[in-house]
Amino acid sequence: MKRLAAICFFCWKASTMPKATLIWGGVAIVVLLLAAFSGWIFSLPPATAAVEAPPVPREEAGAMLAALKPAKRERPLIAVIAINDATETTDYLVPAGILRRADIADVVMLATEPGSVRLYPELQVEPDATIAAFDAAHPEGADYVIVPAMSPDDDPAALAWLNDQAKKGAKIIGVCAGAKVVGAAGLLDGHRATTHWYYVEELLERNPTIQYVADRRMVSDKGVTTTTGITASMPMMLTLIEAIAGRAKAEAVARDLGVGGWNARHASDAFKLTRRFAMTVLVNRMAFWNREKLGIRIDPGVHEVSLALVVDAWSRTYRSDVATFSSQNVVETRNGLRIIPDQVATDWPEASLVSTFPDQRPAEALNQTLDAITARYGESTTNVVATQLEYPR
C-alpha cells in the first residue's frame, strides 16, 4: 500500500511539471510499476508441488451423506438460484443438468428478477421462474437450495431469499465461490466450510468465525454444505444423488458423466497462485494481437454439462474469447435447460471453431478440451485453466 501511495503521489506531482520532465516522469512511473510487479511476482512460489490428497475416513463420508438426506418431501424440491446480471456458468448449469438427468427430485432454475440470466464467463440462459414466483408456488420452501458464485456476491434479494429458505428448513449448498454468497447471508457463521482456493482468504476476512477445512472437496456442517472450485459441482451433485436415492443411482449418473468415482478427497496445496501461473496470465494478456474469437455451436439436445465445462475452459485461457451460435433463438439442452446463443447463425470459420465433443461424456469432453487448449496454446495455459477450474488432472 505504501508503494502504491508513492506512485499515486508521483502521478499528481507530474501533472504540474514541464513537458520534458513529464515525459521522464512517465518513464519513471513505468519503471516503478514494473519494479512493484516484479517484486510481487517473485514473492510467489515458483510452482505447486506434487501432493497427494489425503483419504477421507469412512465415518466422515457417512456423516456427509447423513447430513444431506432429505428431511421434508419424499421427492425433494431443489432450487438453483441465480442473479440475472452475472452468475457463474458451470455452477449454475452443471447442478441442474446432473440432477435433472438423475430424475430423483424436481429441479427448478431460479433468478432474482424476470428475464434471462447472463452467465460468466459466457452463456445466457432462460430460468424457469423468479424467486417470487417460486415462493408463491411453494410457500413451504425448497428441500435444497444450490448457490452458485455470483457477482456481486451480496445481492440483497438473493441474500434475503436464502435466509428465508434456510428458516424454512432448506439445506443450503454453496458451490465454488457460492460460499461467499452463503457467507454474506450469515449462514456460515460458526460453521466449517471451504470454497474456491482463490477466495479462501477473502471468505475468512469477511466471516472470521468460519473454520476453514483444507483437503476436502466438499464440507457439510449444520445444514450448510460448501465445495471447492468450479469442477467440484460434479462430485457434489453425485454425493447429493447418493444421499437422496442411494449409491446405485449415483453410480448410474456417474457413468453417464464419465466420472469413475467421487468423494471429498482433495489436495488443497495443489491449487494456489504461483509465479508460473501469474507469468502465463501476464504473457497471454500482453499478446493481445494473438487473441482469438472462438465459436461454439449449440445444437438442440446438447449435453448442458459438457457445454458448460467446454465454454468455461476456453473462456479462461486469457488467449481467447468465446461466442456461441445456433440456427435457433433458444436451444433446449438434453435435460430441458434453455440456452440463448450469442449469435443466430449456421456456421463459423473452421479455423476458430471448437467442439463440445458431443460423442463424448462430459468428463471426457473436459479432458479433450484441455488437450485441445494444450495443442493450441501450450501446457502452461492449460495449467492456468485447470487451476482456475480447480480440476485435479
Question: Domain boundary at 215, 247, 269, which?
Answer: 269
> Are 254 and 384 in the same domain?
no
Give me the chain's average pLDDT, please.
Answer: 91
> Are 121 and 153 in the same domain?
yes
Cα–chain center distance at 342: 20
Question: Domain boundary at 269, 304, 323, which?
Answer: 269
Query: How many independent structural domains does the chain possess?
Result: 2
Sorting pLDDT into bands at 50, 70 and 90, what band is 277? very high
> Are 256 and 341 in the same domain?
no
Q: What kind and span of H or E run contains 332? A: strand 331-332
CB 179 within 8 A of CB 226: yes
User: Is residue 28 one of the residues assigned to a domain?
Assistant: no
Question: Domain boundary at 269, 295, 323, which?
Answer: 269
Torsion of CA 240, 368, 373, 176, to 10 degrees: 0
CB 227 within 8 A of CB 233: yes
Q: What is the residue range of 73's domain?
A: 58-269
Burial 87-100 (b: 16+ CB within 10 A, else e): bbbbbbbbbbbbbb
Whether the upstream peptide bond of residue 121 has omega within 30° of 0, thus cis, is yes
Residues facing 108 on adjacent strands? 79
> Are 219 and 188 in the same domain?
yes
Check residue 53 and report its DSSP letter: P
> Are 228 and 282 in the same domain?
no
**DSSP calls for 85-101:** S-EEHHHHHHHHHHHHH
What CATH number did the domain enclosing 291 receive?
3.40.50.880
pLDDT at residue 8 in the model: 38
pLDDT at residue 288 in the model: 84
- Nearest-10 crossing angle of helices 19-41, 275-286: 140
Distance (Å, whole) CA 271 – CA 29: 33
pLDDT at residue 36 in the model: 62
User: Is residue 36 one of the residues assigned to a domain?
Assistant: no
User: Is residue 42 one of the residues assigned to a domain?
Assistant: no
User: Is residue 17 one of the residues assigned to a domain?
Assistant: no
pLDDT, tens only, 120-141:
999 999 999 999 999 999 999 9
pTM: 0.90
pLDDT at residue 4 in the model: 35
User: Is residue 225 one of the residues assigned to a domain?
Assistant: yes
Report how far apart, in Å, the C-alpha atoms of 146 and of each of 79, 324, 331, 364 are: 6, 26, 23, 25
User: Is residue 1 one of the residues assigned to a domain?
Assistant: no
pLDDT, tens only, 201-220:
999 999 999 999 999 999 99
- Name the nearest CA neighbour of 238 among 269, 208, 261, 266: 261
pLDDT at residue 38 in the model: 66
Residue that the C-alpha cell 497427494 belongs to:
52
Distance (Å, whole) CA 164 – CA 173: 15
> Are 85 and 185 in the same domain?
yes
> Are 318 and 171 in the same domain?
no
CB 82 within 8 A of CB 127: yes
> Are 231 and 284 in the same domain?
no
> Are 291 and 260 in the same domain?
no
Residue that the C-alpha cell 476453514 belongs to:
212
pLDDT at residue 219 in the model: 98
pLDDT, tens only, 159-194:
999 999 999 999 999 999 999 999 999 999 999 999
Q: Determine the average pLDDT of the residues in 70-96.
A: 97
pLDDT, tens only, 11-53:
333 334 454 444 555 555 655 555 666 677 888 888 887 889 9
Distance (Å, whole) CA 308 – CA 88: 10
- Largest pairwise CA distance in the chain: 77
Reduced to 3 states (helix: H, G, I; strand: E, B; else coil), residue 295 is strand
Torsion of CA 379, 383, 389, 392, to 10 degrees: 100
> Are 265 and 374 in the same domain?
no
> Are 334 and 354 in the same domain?
yes
pLDDT at residue 37 in the model: 60
pLDDT, tens only, 219-232:
999 999 999 999 99
pLDDT at residue 27 in the model: 56
User: Is residue 177 one of the residues assigned to a domain?
Assistant: yes
User: Is residue 7 one of the residues assigned to a domain?
Assistant: no
> Are 221 and 152 in the same domain?
yes
Total Cβ atoms within 10 A of residue 290: 10
